[in-house]
Amino acid sequence: MSLIESLRDGKSGVIRNALLLGFVFCLAWGNPLGAQETLIQGLEKITHSPRFKHAHWGALFVDRESGQVVFEHNTDKLFIPASTTKLYSVATALKEFGAEHRFRTPVVRRGDVSPEGVLEGDLILVASGDLSFGGRTSPEGTLAFADGDHTYANGNPDAELTAPDPLAGIQELAEQIAKSGIRRVRGDVLIDDRLFEKAESSGSGPSQVTPVLINDNLIDFQFKPTQPGLPAELVVRPATSAFQVESKVLTVESDQSPEIEIRDLGSGRFSITGQVPAGHKPVLRVHEVADAALLARTVLIEALLRKGIQVDAPTLAEAHKDRLPRVDEVKTLPKVAELTSLPFSESIKLILKVSHNLHASTLPLLVAANHGETTLAAGLRRQHDFLKEAGVEVETISFAGGAGGTRSDYVTPRATVQLLRYMATRPDFPIYQAALPRLGVDGTLPRNIPPDSAVRDKVQAKTGTLYTGNTMNGTTLMTSKALAGYMTTAKGKNLIFALFVNNAHLRDGVTAKTFGDDLGKFCEAVYLKE
């Protein structure tokens, strides 16, 4: 007997432990039988697809105010969360720093300044972990972002550059140093990046997590087509002499595909070949810098030179970190400039809207540094304590990073909903919620439902996507597709939910977006029911 048949027989007024493709549903609506049939039919239409045959599912929907369960399946099973991990790391950092926190990056001097403005010593930029370093600040005083972030340009054809100059923060520091009266630096320009130990990002995009970030520690190569047979126009960001680029990328006929190959020749030299079709939108590719501190040193010296400040040390020399004074001594040195970030709420929005892996991976280390600690493990222990205080069943889950890409990252639908429900009780909840992508509107959720869907802009939720190569079959295995957040239903009820589907094959035209669309349909079915 099917689930719908059992409903018609009156055997399930409030549906509990009903079998549907291996699902156990718990529906507690108490609505007329016909409305229940409509919901179940909608869910069956989604889940009866052959692409779910091997998938592992978990789901939990609850009323935000009462906590009453609306729908559940595999609530206490572990799932790979992918980027819904960022819900946890952002919540921890928001509690740690507060929405209005601003990161301050000082430049100090070691040595005296003569009446003529000659510094007989070094300038030292003390990295504070400022995630955007002035390089995304818009004229409106917000952080600029595109739904397709440049950090994913090598795998996302929709990735775009934002308008602000990625060196704007560096330029501001140079201007302040000039206003301090310094006209010449006889010593060196040093970068103190000892705020925390460097680590690996736990997601795609830039791999190095460092206390200093200039343009996300990436070089942007943007190719604009011209006329077939002619070289494509190349824009390199950030603009610096640290990089020497030879481009042999040509414009080809409009019916061909973009192809770009970047060869790193070492010492800042790059050779790029390929093609871009005529009439095509600009093609963006990125390459991670080998040494973030070295890039910061070079662009700071160049900015000083543009402000008329002579620097005796060579611009392209190595960053001599062995010349740095002790950490406690640095704190006593005179400050000649300071860059102040936008409020932390802007960084939260950037991380959650575009699923920024590098910045999310940095959050646990910033939390650790706020307590004088320097390791990722220390930051994650702080996260453990916060989640436990928030009422999350923390012993049921596992994390090894802040972005959601490590082999150790596992959560349950119940723990995720517990976190989201706790966050809804906090005074800063509006900031947390507003930073989430809006279904059918922006961030990582603009195209997972039709434009005329009833649930459009009724869901604010974090997405997650993780897949790996199925080498034996020459296909791809989607290890995780996830969606978790908040919903306002058609009847005005506020729900909190977590949806996970793990281990599904991507083949025969089925992509990760296919499953993302299914999660959108799932939300639409619940939205219309409630």
Tens-digit pLDDT profile for residues 190-240: 999 999 999 999 989 999 999 999 999 999 999 999 999 999 999 999 999
251-308: pLDDT as tens digits? 999 999 999 999 999 999 999 999 999 999 999 999 999 999 999 999 999 999 999 9
> Do 242 and 368 belong to one domain?
no
134 with 269, same domain: the answer is yes
Same domain for 299 and 327, yes or no, is yes
End-to-end Cα spacing for the chain: 27
Q: How far apart are CA 311 and CA 188, in angstroms?
A: 8
Same domain, 307 and 428: no
Q: Are residues 334 and 357 in the same domain?
A: no
pLDDT at residue 49, rounded to an integer: 80
456 vs 458: CA distance, rounded Å: 5
CATH of the domain at 197: 3.50.80.20
Q: Can you give the pLDDT at residue 447? A: 92
In a domain, 362, yes or no: yes
- For range 370-387, the mean pLDDT: 98
Instruction: Kindly state whether residues 64 and 148 are assigned to the same domain.
Output: no
Most distant CA pair in the chain: distance in Å? 94
Same domain, 177 and 292: yes
Nearest of 499, 421, 529 to residue 52 by alpha carbon: 499
| Residues 6+ positions from 446 with CB-CB distance below 8 Å | 147, 437, 440
Instruction: Assess whether 161 and 256 both reside in one domain.
Output: yes
CATH code for position 506: 3.40.710.10
228's enclosing H/E stretch is none
Query: Could you tell me if residue 134 is inside a domain?
Result: yes
CB 205 within 8 A of CB 86: no
Q: What DSSP letter does each residue of 173-190 carry, written as one string?
A: HHHHHHHTT--EESS-EE
Q: How far is CA 237 from CA 53, 154, 225, in A?
A: 46, 15, 18
pLDDT attached to residue 3: 29
Q: How far apart are CA 459 and CA 519, in angstroms?
A: 11
Q: Is residue 234 part of a domain?
A: yes
> At which of 319, 342, 365 does a domain end?
342
Beta bridge partners of 261: 273
442, pLDDT greater than 50: yes
- Please answer whether residues 423 and 382 qualify as being in contact, where contact means their C-beta atoms are separated by less than 8 angstroms: no
The mean per-residue pLDDT over the stretch 85-113 comes to 98
Q: Are residues 437 and 313 in the same domain?
A: no
Give the pLDDT of residue 415. 98
Final residue of a structural domain among 296, 327, 342 = 342
Answer whether 75's CB lies under 8 Å from 414's CB.
yes
353, 338: one domain? no
pLDDT, residue 46, reads 73
Nearest to 349 by CA among 220, 486, 443: 443
- Residue 314 within any structural domain of the chain: yes
- Beta strand 199-200 with 189-192 is unpaired
Which is nearest to 522 in space by CA: 505, 498, 504? 498
What pLDDT shows up at residue 47? 67
Distance CA 527, CA 68 (A): 16
Q: Tell me which of 309, 342, 375 is where a domain ends.
A: 342
- Percentage of the chain surpassing pLDDT 70? 91
Residues 90 and 106 in one domain: no
Residues 6 or more apart in contact with residue 211 via CB below 8 angstroms: 127, 128, 129, 193, 194, 195, 196, 369
Q: What angle do CA 170, 204, 295 make, to 5 degrees?
A: 25
Q: What is the pLDDT of residue 482?
A: 97
> Does the pLDDT at position 490 exceed 90?
yes
Q: Is residue 22 part of a domain?
A: no
Closest to 416 (Cα-Cα) out of 33, 126, 81, 66: 81
**What range does the domain containing 421 cover?**
49-95+348-529
For residue range 154-192, what is the model confidence (pLDDT) as tens digits? 999 999 999 999 999 999 999 999 999 999 999 999 999
Q: Residue 29: inside a domain, yes or no?
A: no
3-state SS, 379-401, equals: HHHHHHHHHHHCCCCHHHCECCC
CB atoms within 10 A of CB 321: 13
Task: Tell me, yes or no, whether 6 lies in a domain.
Answer: no
The answer to whether residue 453 sits within a structural domain is yes
What is the domain count for the chain? 2
Query: What pLDDT sits at residue 23?
Result: 40
Are residue 413 and residue 522 in the same domain, yes or no? Answer: yes
